Amino acid sequence: MSRNRIELETIEEMQHCIGFSKNRVTGTKHRVMYSYRNHYCDHIDNAMWGNLVELGLATQSICKDLNGITYFHLTKDGFSLLADLCGFEKIIEID
């Protein structure tokens, strides 16, 4: 999968990863999204997230449980791409 072929389901999972909510978007001219998390829990063999890791848009935690469950995290490139796709100037990670 190339960056040009990212599907809607992938975008929705990336949004879920960062806690996307319309209530966390500010501004009208310069739209900014405030992300309160950056993790997505799934099976280590998830092909969609594996593709994002290969593209440099996400990382995968080195830890996994006995069932093969791990965490995926968006990279700065992943945040930038998602901001572009969703029409935000930027996405700011808050603790």
Chain centroid to CA 86: how far? Answer: 12
Residue 52 has what pLDDT? 96
Question: What residues pair up with 88 in beta bridges, in sequence order?
Answer: none
Reduced to 3 states (helix: H, G, I; strand: E, B; else coil), residue 35 is strand
Let me know how long the chain is: 95
- d(C-alpha 61, C-alpha 9), whole Å: 22
Looking up tokens 């791990």, which residue turns up?
Answer: 70
pLDDT in tens, 34-75: 888 999 999 999 999 999 999 999 999 988 888 889 999 999
Record the pTM: 0.84
- d(C-alpha 42, C-alpha 70), whole Å: 6
Q: Which of 3.40.50, 3.40.390, 3.30.70, 1.10.10 is the CATH number of 3-93?
A: 1.10.10
Question: What residues pair up with 71 in beta bridges, in sequence order?
Answer: 41
- d(C-alpha 40, C-alpha 13), whole Å: 8
Residue 87 has what pLDDT? 86
Domain boundaries, the chain: 3-93
Question: What residues pair up with 21 in beta bridges, in sequence order?
Answer: none
